[in-house]
Amino acid sequence: MAVRGIRGAISVEADEPDQIRDATRELIEEILKRNEITDYDDVISAVFTTTHDIVSAFPAEAARLIGMTTVPLLCSQEIPVPGSMPKCIRILLHVNTERAPSEIEHIYLREAARLRPDMKSAQ
């Protein structure tokens, strides 16, 4: 089994705690489902980033609420590049998996799908 990184992103309409938690949960659940990860023990760690306009809640809260209580989680802020997408939550999951790098599905949802139009799995 190898350690792989899985990337994803999702946007929110407003900097509201419920929207941040709901969007983050949606993103995590879709990443896990699409990559057939059924056990949180296979998740080594997760790094979340938010754009500067998301400050009312930690995305990691959503991970804890769905049961990722033993996974090391870290939140940080994206660098504020002029013209970058606003109200965006990104994640990098480190997981144990049998999948080859070419088989990993990186997930981009809502407006964040515009970040990676080259990804066939962007939604």
Domains assigned to the chain: 2-115 (3.30.1330.40)
Set 61, 78, 99, 111: catalytic member:
78
64 counts as catalytic: yes
3-state secondary structure of 78: coil
Prediction pTM value: 0.92
pLDDT of residue 114: 87
25 counts as catalytic: no
Set 7, 25, 34, 99: catalytic member:
7
88 counts as catalytic: no
- pLDDT of 122 > 50? The answer is no
pLDDT of residue 50: 98
- pLDDT of 120 > 60? The answer is no
For the record, the structure tokens of 59 come out as 């995305």
- pLDDT of 116 > 90? The answer is no
Section 32-58 average pLDDT: 96
75 counts as catalytic: yes
Q: How far apart are CA 123 and CA 118, in angstroms?
A: 11
Q: How far apart are CA 35 and CA 17, in angstroms?
A: 27
Check residue 106 and report its DSSP letter.
-
In the numeric block, the tokens 């500067």 are attached to: 52
- pLDDT of 23 > 60? The answer is yes
21 counts as catalytic: no
